[in-house]
Chains A and B, each alone.
Chain A
Amino acid sequence: MNTKFFRQLTVLTLLGLLCFTVSCRDKKKNNEPEEPEDAFDKSGMLINYADNIILPAYQSFSISLDSLNQAYSVFKNNPDLPNLHALKSKFVVAYTKYQRCDLFELGPAENTGIRGNFNIFPTDTQQIKTNISTGIYDFSAISNLDAKGFPALDYLFYGKQETVIVASFTNTNTKQYVTDLLNEMTGKCNTVITGWNSSYRNSFINSLGTDIGSSIGLLINQLNYNLDYLKNAKIGIPLGKKSLGIAYPDKCEAFYSSSYSLKYAIETLDLIERVYNGKSLNGSNNKGFDDYLIHLKVQHTSGTLNDAIQTQFSLARTKLMAIAEPLSTQMTTNPTVVDAAYAELVKLLVLLKADLPSSLGVVITYQDGDGD
């Protein structure tokens, strides 16, 4: 510790002060408004996501699964048309509620593999038939991923004429197959809720960073995954985006209960929008990514990024709403209308996949970045 050291320290401090004044001058020049004193309440945002959005979505899904189970046990013991109708209506409710938690594939849901086990479509009808006729199947096998979950039920409840369906449920194997399907789904859903309630909630709300395993990072990744899924699986692939424009209507989600495909697509968009805005189903709007962007005053090419995203959400919704039902027939009869919706989803994806994480400094990979 000599005088030299102190002299250098002084020089550095002066340099620091110089930078400070330069930056302050710069600030005045740009007429930036005074910044808020407090940092953004990320913790509050995550608590909102956990308590008002994610967990309620699973709980509501769980309740709808229970009703579906009840309706099914009634139908199983007494397969007739009225019971089938009751069953179908419960099925639609459960599938709708499922759409509302499909995005949250993180923590316990990721470990349980909800998406891959609940909603792989198009379903493999041949595999389902084989499974039922032999009565031998292992739901944990990869080969059965597209022979179970909602798409399989969609086929089994809607895939033929109602009288034929009712008749098919006199078969013990069919009954057992659906029982097993529903049991698996119920079990996995409960696992997720238990996981959230026991410990995951705490780790979720306490992970405040933006690195790869952080809650914000995970949520934004899943938000994009879900949007990608909407764009590709629910709209693009059936429309022929991956097949030189040749449409494959049977690749639509909920193909057999066809009048719901579009509803589910809109549900997905709604969910993504709610998550972006930090809005719960009952309409209360708390802290979300929108507030985070507003807080950071993130700009886009013209106006704020938040405005651009909000505008794009409503554009995408308008274009989706413009499609007539059922979605599967529109793929061939009105492809331009579907394509218009697709184009808006692409724009939305760009905003949420590139702009959103980039402006929040979200890291998307485990690999080391470039050192300094």
Chain B
Amino acid sequence: MVIEKIKKYLTSQVSIAPLVIFRIAFGILMSASIIRFIYMGWVEKMYILPKVYFPFFGFEWIKPLPALGMYIVFGLLLITALFILIGFLYRISTISFFLLFTYVELIDKTNYLNHYYFISLISLILIFLPAGKAFSLDNKVFKRNDIKSTYRYFIFLPQLQMFTLYFFAGVAKINYDWLIEAQPLKIWLPAYSHFPFIGSLLEKTWIAYFFCWFGCIYDLCIGFLLFNKRTVYFAYFLVIVFHMATSLLFNIGMFPYIMMTITIIFFKEKFHIAILNFLEKITNYSTTNRIEKNNSLHPIIKYAFIVFFVVQFLMPFRYALYDGKLFWTEQGYRFSWRVMLMEKAGTAFFFVEDKKSGKRIEIDNKDYLTYMQEKMVSTQPDMMIDYAKFLKEEYNKKGLSDIQVKVQSYVTLNGSGTREFIDPTVDLSLETNNIFKNKNWIRSY
């Protein structure tokens, strides 16, 4: 019965306008993001200058290209984003954007951000949407007719992806540190005590609690409020308030603006049709006749999408399969929409040790790691392994054969104060990053 209802809802016919507006918004935001990324000099900083990279488990074969190659990749990303915007070679452009963007994100764990992961997923979904079937250069160039309506599920897919991000970000906030200790906001908010008007308020404990609880409730509810036609505009008001606040307080780049823009896909049809009509008018885009043509998704792809979301729903809970405190060990931490959840910092001193004599070389991390890499390696065990293996290789090249790599490391988590993080007697170069194995050499929290 319920299944029938859902089926009926998903296969109902709706205007294609929301998808077109979504495509345009995505294209604009991605072009801006890529330009910003290049302008900030991050291509060089993240993908050209580093001497060592930290690939993801199962993607160790992903390597950065030489400098020119990386710039070409980013150039192509910009071009494909613009093509998506104008709806040119839509299928090729979306596939290329997805592959290139994901490739870049897989090069180095250092740069992992949930919002990059989100962009990867959205661009993957975009490949299968008929978002280029109306108000597009493709239709002009290839003399195709604009499509007027499409299946509801095409709009539902990106909506569900956004819902997933919010909802699981909310689920992730249901933890002791966040709700009971108001951490890390208790640390982060006072840093803004110099703000006019609200500054002194930000040092108050109750404000940290208020933000934490509000953030948690917001994340859990906002998806539902957006889906509900009666509350969508109120929800959007909350989206604006929430993301403006986070963009003021945290160093999170484009993400708030991306979210504020693309959530309009939840708006009523009328809104999108009005915008589309306006755009068609100012661009002199005339369609001789619009057709009611439905391309449905291949059944296999439909099932694949079901699997795609089921996996996403399970990912945040995989940490339960590992020992130890999640925030401390970070086993199963990524790909779960855990955003702005902890203030973690550490110091790690690595040693290359001659097995026979026990004599050591202390590594100056600055010699091998970028600033950002050092910060990440200092608190993330899986990156420590990669680094240890890299150091072993480096020193093998220098003619030291019988060596092991150890670390003396201290980490503070949400203001806990630094404690020993890793067993300093373990040879990290022999450990594995296999995600199916527990990292039992991490000190318990």
- Could you list which residues of chain A lie within 8 angstroms of chain B, going by C-beta atoms? 4-5, 8, 15-16, 18-20, 22-24, 26-27, 32, 35, 37-40, 42-43, 208-212, 232, 236, 241-245, 296, 298-301, 305, 308, 346, 349-351, 353-355, 357-372
Verify B251–A369 contact, CB threshold 8 A. yes
CA distance A298 to B415 in the complex (A): 8
Interface residues of B in 377-412 (CB under 8 A from A): 378, 408, 410-412
Verify A350–B347 contact, CB threshold 8 A. yes
How many Å from the CB of A242 to the closest CB on chain B? Answer: 6
Closest chain A residue to B114, Cβ basis: A370
Instruction: Give the chain B neighbours of A24 by CB distance below 8 A.
Output: 206
Verify A42–B251 contact, CB threshold 8 A. no
Verify A371–B252 contact, CB threshold 8 A. yes
Cross-chain contact of A244 among B199, B340, B360 (Cβ < 8 A):
B360
Cross-chain contact of A27 among B206, B254, B344, B362 (Cβ < 8 A):
B206
Interface residues of B in 279-314 (CB under 8 A from A): none
How many Å from the CB of A300 to the closest CB on chain B? Answer: 4
Instruction: Give the chain B neighbours of A4 by CB distance below 8 A.
Output: 230-231, 234
Verify B362–A242 contact, CB threshold 8 A. yes
Known: A5-B234, A301-B417, A364-B375. A349 touches B347 (CB 8 A): yes
Verify B359–A365 contact, CB threshold 8 A. no
Verify B182–A23 contact, CB threshold 8 A. yes
CA distance A313 to B351 in the complex (A): 25
Instruction: Give the chain B neighbours of A367 by CB distance below 8 A.
Output: 42, 45-46, 111, 372
Interface segment among B64-72, B141-149, B187-195: the answer is B187-195
What 8 pairs between A and B have smallest CB-CB spacing? A371-B255, A23-B209, A368-B253, A361-B191, A208-B194, A39-B193, A358-B345, A300-B417
Interface segment among B4-12, B90-98, B211-219, B261-269: the answer is B211-219
CA distance A366 to B338 in the complex (A): 21
Instruction: Give the chain A neighbours of B345 by CB distance below 8 A.
Output: 354-355, 357-358
Chain B, residues 356-374, CB within 8 Å of chain A (1/0): the string is 0101111110000001100
Closest chain A residue to B252, Cβ basis: A371
CA distance A305 to B110 in the complex (A): 29
B interface: dominant SS:
mixed
Instruction: Give the chain A neighbours of B361 by CB distance below 8 A.
Output: 241-244
Instruction: Give the chain A neighbours of B416 by CB distance below 8 A.
Output: 301
Closest chain B residue to A371, Cβ basis: B255
Question: With A371-B252, A371-B255 given, can you name 18 additional A-B contacts, CB distance below 8 Å?
Answer: A5-B234, A15-B213, A16-B210, A19-B210, A23-B205, A39-B203, A209-B194, A241-B362, A242-B361, A296-B190, A299-B415, A350-B410, A353-B347, A354-B345, A367-B45, A370-B340, A371-B115, A372-B340
Q: Can you sample 26 A-B contacts with CB below 8 Å?
A: A4-B234, A15-B214, A16-B210, A19-B210, A20-B206, A26-B209, A32-B205, A35-B204, A39-B193, A43-B194, A209-B192, A241-B362, A242-B362, A354-B412, A355-B345, A355-B417, A357-B345, A358-B187, A359-B415, A361-B343, A362-B191, A369-B113, A370-B114, A371-B339, A372-B215, A372-B256
Q: Tally B residues with Cβ within 8 Å of A.
A: 75
Instruction: Give the chain A neighbours of B42 by CB distance below 8 A.
Output: 367
Instruction: Give the chain B neighbours of A43 by CB distance below 8 A.
Output: 194
How many Å from the CB of A13 to the closest CB on chain B? Answer: 11
B180 within 8 Å of A (CB atoms): yes
Known: A23-B210, A364-B375, A372-B246. A355 touches B251 (CB 8 A): no
CA distance A367 to B375 in the complex (A): 12
Q: Which of B206, B230, B253 neighbours the largest number of chain A CB atoms within 10 Å of its CB? A: B206
- Could you list which residues of chain B lie within 8 angstroms of chain A, going by C-beta atoms? 40, 42, 45-46, 111, 113-115, 169, 180, 182, 187-188, 190-194, 199-200, 202-206, 209-210, 213-215, 217, 230-231, 234, 242-243, 246, 250-256, 259, 338-340, 343-347, 349, 354, 357, 359-364, 371-372, 375, 378, 408, 410-412, 415-419
Verify A371–B193 contact, CB threshold 8 A. no
Verify B205–A370 contact, CB threshold 8 A. no
Verify B230–A42 contact, CB threshold 8 A. no
Instruction: Give the chain B neighbours of A355 by CB distance below 8 A.
Output: 345, 412, 417-418
Known: A365-B375, A368-B255. A42 touches B194 (CB 8 A): yes
CA distance A301 to B412 in the complex (A): 10
Verify B362–A301 contact, CB threshold 8 A. no
Instruction: Give the chain A neighbours of B362 by CB distance below 8 A.
Output: 236, 241-242
Closest chain A residue to B203, Cβ basis: A39
Verify B203–A40 contact, CB threshold 8 A. yes
Verify A368–B113 contact, CB threshold 8 A. yes
